[in-house]
Chain A
């Protein structure tokens, strides 16, 4: 019989129960979804790293490595395996595309994963193992012919396999500002060492020198010990990058960390609101059920049975909400992490399975237990005392005068204002929850739209303003002299830059030297203002400034790889930059005597004549196109956040509005009998909602700003972002929040028409 009562009571309070179920579902869903996102990424990237034997270290040399060098590295204690590796950009013949051509002597270290076609064969002299994503974007199939060229060398063959590679997990062309992979124009291809030998015969190698400029190493040593051992084994300082320094690892880890950060903010907000909604609503429901609880007790039902019965409501809500939430969570995870989804445009993984970390299940079970406990405690309070006590209807708190009532201003207030003010104070939990709901809505809107503003400003400065050229021409540094490069730059009326790998302590950075006569490249300071580079010192990015606590006027020491020189220079400025590095003018570089080779030219020319010294060209448009993909991804997330904000606002405010309406039903019936019109009573209800919304909006604006700041701090290792919140964001956030509040207020106020004055006033107070 009690089971029947359970279902009927669920039906009677359906608005409240549905609200609670939705809030629990949203809380669990967002919590699970965000955790599924980062954890699935961690698991799936982990799988490809493992399956391909992703190298722990990469040793670089401009002169290339001999077989003896490789053997010396392999002989280091703690080195499990190693391979000589080559990666260079080559052109696709008959197309403008570029491919990173990769050759490894030992595919057990940073190898490939076959997705379609023939297994990789190290002896094959005419087979290409092509990136499957590049193949898909360009309509290439297994068996199709392919010809690649590098200067005068061409190599032809057939696509024998479509593959994925952990080395190219995030496939971005080197030395460009491209943010997102663009497989329609850039990919990678593996060939065997045998095919490389065929393409570059021994005679030619006598001129080119050693082809393999990289050794990839599997080792459990830490970086400092490994670097020391390598320097000892090879007899000179080499640029060594740990896997943590590679794009494939660092960017994927960055995404995981970003996901973890997001999972530590938004879900907490949703879960807190779900739990608070549950506490407030369960308390109200058991309060209005008090006489029924008393009746059951008076009839002889044991307290334990009544407790179990009412706790079952909370458990039902928890279970239904959790089941829905698990669906939402996995959908959210899938939305971001699917082979055609947002993340797939960035990370090229073979497997997109969804995984939830074990702790999420523990938290979800704990939440359900906690929700049940809320139901249990709510009814236990009603059961304390005798059956006669329990039979008495629940009496709300007695009204007390508030301190501010003594003020003249309060006395002048209209009755509606006084009524609403006292009601807010009398029902503190309900008012607090309304504030919290509005605050949550505002935080999501300010956070989401503010992130877009920040990224827009970032992209505008770094790409629209800082990139003041139409084409970037990358030179073949091994075959171009300084004079040739500078002459070509003059012919193209362009600026040029040189790049060197340097280390500060044991960490590797890039040193960029610029000649900026034509204003083709610009730099922004930490206030996102474009500033000129001057000859007075070096400029550092804000990540370096933060890590080494450096400011203008301090000095910074660095050492180029492959060199025994150390340079100590004054810091002339701190820049917000896409690349983590040190920047200086040509004039300053010459002053301190650091050698360099010009590697890129920046020009407004779009038709660049073919030249043996040119490695490849990249148009500004192709860079801008990759932002569109990035912004698409971002916009999707922002729309999700806005939708979540609106749902959260509507559900929380509607639930509380209905609660407030139920609690004040009798008062409104009285006003109606006295002669108040429905519209006037409605305005009273709406105005209370709007006051709380105003306060919640102010608090939410501050909280949203704080959350955005926290997010940007968390992202600081990846992007040098300056928080920007545009007026449109504020206006939209405030309008949407007030719009939601007004909509809910109107929905609740419409119920006034159905107040049964006679029935309401006949009931006992």
Chain B
């Protein structure tokens, strides 16, 4: 069953007379529970695709359906409710609240998510149960990204959206974080969409989407995706 559908979606940015078509009549259908990697060079439109799906931005034309619901016409408040209930985000730069402790950063989602998971459980799952009262600035980059994953999953979303989640980490930590991300998301049955330009990550994906100049160049299912350990990092 398709959890996400893009129907003829375009996103055009206008700056005076200049017009930039970040996404150009994109059509896409993604199955639930899959691990999807969006690949493409800088400026290809992959982050725009993620932002539209995450409700951070709205399309200029077309329709985006998530679980059958059109999110392209939602008001800012409805989009906020959609983000609170349906999507979790993991960013390259963690984006934790510096004035909240680790556990408070995760527990934060209880304020808005309709079916949140236990923050302590999530932190235990990412191996940070001993750091729950520390502030983000007291943690390493890898640890901060694990907090960010715990926070994203604590909302119990349908879809986990990750924008270069390992981009700011060294390769060893990056692999560890990726492994954690995949195992947790799969255990919880979440659909994961990762935007990256790292070809190696694509080897692990169920579906690989290639984007260029705002258009979908290909959307391939991989019959035998590799495990994290099998990929030559």
Contact = CB atoms under 8 A, between A and B. Distances in A.
B95 A670 contact: yes
A419 B83 CA distance: 21
Contacts of A426: 99
A81 B173 CA distance: 100
A674 B57 contact: no
A369 interface: no
B84 A674 contact: yes
B148 to A, nearest CB: 10
A758 B107 CA distance: 23
Interface residues of B, number: 38
B93 A670 contact: no
Contacts of B92: 762
Which 6 residue pairs spanning A and B have beta carbons closest together?
Answer: A675-B84, A399-B135, A422-B99, A675-B83, A677-B80, A670-B95
B56 A677 contact: no
B58 interface: no
Interface size class, chain A? 35 or more
Given A415-B111, A765-B95, 19 more contacts: A399-B138, A401-B133, A401-B135, A666-B95, A667-B97, A670-B96, A670-B97, A672-B80, A674-B112, A675-B81, A675-B82, A676-B84, A676-B111, A676-B112, A677-B80, A680-B111, A680-B112, A758-B51, A758-B57
A68 interface: no
A753 B76 contact: yes
Given A423-B99, A757-B56, A758-B56, A674 B151 contact: yes
A396 B91 CA distance: 21
Contacts of B133: 401
B107 A415 contact: yes
Contacts of B57: 758
A761 B161 CA distance: 14
A532 B80 CA distance: 74
B185 interface: no
Contacts of B107: 415
B158 to A, nearest CB: 13
Contact of B77 (A423, A677, A758): A677
Contact of A418 (B77, B100, B109): B100
B108 interface: yes
Contact of A765 (B80, B81, B93, B109): B93
A77 B76 CA distance: 92
B85 interface: yes
Contacts of B203: none
A414 interface: yes
A673 interface: yes
B97 A675 contact: no
20 contacts: A401-B133, A415-B100, A415-B104, A419-B99, A422-B99, A423-B99, A667-B99, A673-B83, A673-B89, A673-B95, A675-B81, A675-B83, A677-B80, A680-B112, A757-B56, A761-B93, A762-B92, A762-B93, A763-B93, A765-B93
Contacts of A304: none
A414 B93 CA distance: 26
B47 interface: yes
Given A674-B89, A674-B108, A398 B135 contact: yes
B80 A678 contact: yes
B80 A396 contact: no
Contacts of A669: 95
Interface in B74-128: 76-77, 80-85, 89, 91-100, 104, 107-109, 111-113
B56 to A, nearest CB: 5
A400 B89 CA distance: 27
B155 interface: yes
Contacts of A423: 99
B100 A673 contact: no
Interface in A660-689: 666-667, 669-680
Interface of A: 396, 398-401, 414-416, 418-419, 422-423, 426, 666-667, 669-680, 753, 757-758, 761-765
A398 B80 contact: no
Nearest to A422: B99
B27 to A, nearest CB: 23
B137 interface: yes
Nearest to B86: A675
B97 A673 contact: no
Nearest to B157: A675
Q: Tell which of A415, A419, A753 has the most Cβ of chain B within 10 Å.
A: A415
A761 B95 CA distance: 7
Contacts of A677: 76-77, 80-81
Given A419-B97, A667-B97, A758 B109 contact: no
Given A398-B138, A418-B100, A418-B104, A675 B95 contact: no
B54 interface: yes
Nearest to A415: B108
Nearest to A396: B98
Contacts of B76: 677-678, 753
Contacts of A400: 135
Interface string B52-68: 00101100000000000
Contact of A673 (B56, B93, B99, B137): B56
Contacts of B111: 414-416, 676, 680
Interface in B177-231: none
Given A399-B99, A667-B98, A758-B56, A675 B47 contact: no
Contact of A764 (B47, B93, B135): B93
Q: Tell which of B54, B89, B108 has the most Cβ of chain A within 10 Å.
A: B108
Given A419-B97, A423-B99, A675 B113 contact: yes
Contacts of B155: 674-675
A764 B92 CA distance: 9
Contacts of B100: 415, 418-419, 422
Nearest to B164: A762
A666 B99 CA distance: 12
A416 B155 CA distance: 18
B80 A676 contact: yes
A764 B95 CA distance: 10
Q: Tell which of A423, A426, A673, A758 has the most Cβ of chain B within 10 Å.
A: A673
Contacts of A762: 92-93
B99 A675 contact: no
Contacts of A666: 95
A673 B54 contact: yes
Nearest to A677: B80
Contacts of A753: 76
A761 to B, nearest CB: 5
A765 B83 contact: no
A240 B111 CA distance: 82
A676 B110 CA distance: 11
Given A398-B138, A419-B99, A675 B104 contact: no
Given A399-B98, A761-B95, A675 B137 contact: no
A663 B171 CA distance: 31
B80 A399 contact: no
A761 B80 contact: no
A565 to B, nearest CB: 80
B137 A399 contact: yes
